[in-house]
A and B are shown apart, each in its own frame.
Chain A
Amino acid sequence: MATGAPPPCMRAGVAPTGAPPPGMRAGAPQRRTAAGRRTQQNWVVMTTLIDAPPQEEDGLLPAKRSKTGGGLGKYLVVRFFLIFPTIFILITMVFFLMRITGDPITAALGGRLPPDALQARIHEAGYDRPILVQYTEYLGQIATGNFGRTISDNLKVTDMLATYGTATLELAINSLVVALIIGIPLGMVAAKYRDKWPDAVLRVFAILSYATPVFFAGLLLKLIFSVGLGWLPVAGRAKSGNEIALTALANPSGIYWLDAIRSGNMAALGDVMAHAVLPAIALGLLTGGVFLRLVRTNVIGTLSKDYVEAGRSRGIREFRLVTKHAYKPALIPIITVMGLQIALLLGGAVLTETTFEWKGLGFQLAQYLTARDFVAVQGIVVLLAVIVALTNFVVDVVAALIDPRVRY
Chain B
Amino acid sequence: MSRKDGSLIQRLPVISHLRKSVGLQRGMLVTGLIISALFLLTAALAPLISPYGFAQHFDTQQPPSSAHLWGTTSGGYDVLSRVVWGTQTAVLVIVVAVILSIFLGVALGLVSGYIGGWLDRILVVIADAIYAFPTLLLAIVMSIAISQGRSSMLGGIMAAAISITVVFIPQYFRVIRAETIRLKAEPFVESAMVVGASSVRIMARHIYKNATRTLPLIFTLNASEAILTLAGLGFLGFGIEPSSAAEWGYDLNKALSDTTAGIWWTGVFPGAAIVLTVLGLTLVGESMNDLNDPRLRGRRRAGKTAPTATAGPTANSTPENEVTV
* Contacts from A to B (Cβ < 8 Å): 3-6, 13, 15-29, 31-33, 35-37, 40-41, 43-44, 47, 85-86, 89-90, 93-94, 97-98, 100-102, 107, 194-195, 200, 203, 207-208, 210-213, 215-216, 219-220, 222-223, 226-228, 234, 293-294, 296-298, 300-302, 304, 330, 333, 336-337, 343-344, 346-347, 350-351, 354-355, 365-366, 369-370, 372, 374, 377, 381, 384-385, 388-389, 392
Could you mark each residue 146-161 of chain B with 1 if its beta carbon is under 8 Å from any beta carbon of chain A, else 0?
Answer: 1111000000000000
- Alpha-carbon gap, A41 to B307, bound state (A): 33
Asked whether A381 lies within 8 Å of B137 as measured between CB atoms, the reply is: yes
- Chain B residues within an 8 Å CB radius of A333: 312-314
Q: How far is the CB of A360 from chain B (nearest CB, A)?
A: 14
15 new A-B contacts, CB < 8 A, other than A94-B141, A377-B141, are A25-B311, A31-B312, A36-B131, A86-B125, A86-B132, A203-B310, A207-B279, A213-B228, A215-B232, A216-B275, A219-B255, A294-B312, A294-B313, A347-B134, A377-B140
Asked whether A297 lies within 8 Å of B311 as measured between CB atoms, the reply is: yes
Asked whether B174 lies within 8 Å of A27 as measured between CB atoms, the reply is: no
Asked whether A215 lies within 8 Å of B252 as measured between CB atoms, the reply is: yes
Choose among B221, B279, B282, B310 the residue that contacts A297 (Cβ–Cβ < 8 A).
Answer: B310
Task: Kindly state whether residue B181 has any CB partner on chain A within 8 Å.
Answer: yes
Contact A23/B317 with A3-B117, A98-B145, A294-B312 known, Cβ cut-off 8 Å: no
Task: Kindly state whether residue B124 has any CB partner on chain A within 8 Å.
Answer: yes
Pick the most buried of A17, A33, A234: most chain B CB atoms within 10 A of its CB.
Answer: A33
Contact A211/B267 with A216-B275, A234-B259, A330-B314 known, Cβ cut-off 8 Å: no
Chain A, Cβ-Cβ closest to B317: A301
Asked whether A37 lies within 8 Å of B132 as measured between CB atoms, the reply is: yes
Asked whether B136 lies within 8 Å of A213 as measured between CB atoms, the reply is: no
- Chain B residues within an 8 Å CB radius of A85: 125, 129
Asked whether B318 lies within 8 Å of A301 as measured between CB atoms, the reply is: yes
Choose among B172, B235, B317 the residue that contacts A302 (Cβ–Cβ < 8 A).
Answer: B317
Q: How far is the CB of A181 from chain B (nearest CB, A)?
A: 21
Asked whether A3 lies within 8 Å of B237 as measured between CB atoms, the reply is: no
Choose among A43, A219, A336, A381 the residue that contacts B313 (Cβ–Cβ < 8 A).
Answer: A336
- Alpha-carbon gap, A347 to B136, bound state (A): 6
Asked whether B217 lies within 8 Å of A26 as measured between CB atoms, the reply is: yes
Asked whether B312 lies within 8 Å of A211 as measured between CB atoms, the reply is: no
Contact A29/B317 with A102-B148, A350-B137, A392-B132 known, Cβ cut-off 8 Å: no
Task: Kindly state whether residue B218 has any CB partner on chain A within 8 Å.
Answer: yes
Contact A207/B286 with A222-B259, A369-B236, A388-B134 known, Cβ cut-off 8 Å: yes
- Chain B residues within an 8 Å CB radius of A212: 271, 274-275, 278
Q: How far is the CB of A273 from chain B (nearest CB, A)?
A: 21
Asked whether B289 lies within 8 Å of A27 as measured between CB atoms, the reply is: yes
Choose among B217, B256, B260 the residue that contacts A355 (Cβ–Cβ < 8 A).
Answer: B256
Asked whether B311 lies within 8 Å of A26 as measured between CB atoms, the reply is: yes
Q: How far is the CB of A328 from chain B (nearest CB, A)?
A: 14
Chain A, Cβ-Cβ closest to B279: A211
Could you mark each residue 218-250 of chain B with 1 if its beta carbon is under 8 Å from any beta carbon of chain A, else 0?
Answer: 100110110010011001111000000000010
* Contacts from B to A (Cβ < 8 Å): 24, 116-117, 120-121, 124-137, 140-142, 144-149, 171-172, 174-175, 178-179, 181-182, 184-185, 214, 217-218, 221-222, 224-225, 228, 231-232, 235-238, 249, 252-253, 255-256, 259-262, 264, 267-268, 271, 274-275, 278-279, 282-283, 285-286, 289, 292-293, 305-319
Choose among B231, B260, B286 the residue that contacts A213 (Cβ–Cβ < 8 A).
Answer: B231
Chain B, Cβ-Cβ closest to A96: B145
Determine chain B's interface SS by DSSP, over half rule: helix
- Chain A residues within an 8 Å CB radius of B267: 216, 219-220, 223
Choose among B128, B141, B232, B305 the residue that contacts A86 (Cβ–Cβ < 8 A).
Answer: B128
Asked whether A89 lies within 8 Å of B125 as measured between CB atoms, the reply is: yes
- Chain B residues within an 8 Å CB radius of A32: 171, 221
Asked whether B128 lies within 8 Å of A41 as measured between CB atoms, the reply is: yes
Asked whether A374 lies within 8 Å of B144 as measured between CB atoms, the reply is: yes
- Chain A residues within an 8 Å CB radius of B278: 210-212
Q: How far is the CB of A274 from chain B (nearest CB, A)?
A: 16
Asked whether B145 lies within 8 Å of A100 as measured between CB atoms, the reply is: yes
- Alpha-carbon gap, A304 to B310, bound state (A): 15
Contact A211/B275 with A23-B218, A194-B309, A385-B133 known, Cβ cut-off 8 Å: yes
Asked whether B145 lies within 8 Å of A23 as measured between CB atoms, the reply is: no
Contact A4/B181 with A343-B132, A384-B134 known, Cβ cut-off 8 Å: yes
Contact A3/B316 with A24-B217, A215-B235, A216-B274 known, Cβ cut-off 8 Å: no
Asked whether B289 lies within 8 Å of A26 as measured between CB atoms, the reply is: yes
- Alpha-carbon gap, A9 to B266, bound state (A): 53
- Chain B residues within an 8 Å CB radius of A207: 279, 282-283, 286
Asked whether B142 lies within 8 Å of A4 as measured between CB atoms, the reply is: no
Asked whether B174 lies within 8 Å of A23 as measured between CB atoms, the reply is: yes
Q: How far is the CB of B300 from chain A (nearest CB, A)?
A: 14
- Chain B residues within an 8 Å CB radius of A23: 171-172, 174-175, 214, 217-218
- Chain A residues within an 8 Å CB radius of B182: 6
Asked whether B310 lies within 8 Å of A29 as measured between CB atoms, the reply is: no
Pairs across A and B, CB under 8 Å, 25 listed? A23-B175, A24-B175, A24-B214, A31-B313, A36-B171, A37-B131, A40-B131, A89-B126, A90-B133, A102-B148, A208-B275, A220-B267, A223-B264, A234-B259, A297-B314, A301-B319, A333-B312, A344-B134, A369-B236, A372-B148, A372-B149, A381-B137, A385-B133, A388-B134, A392-B132
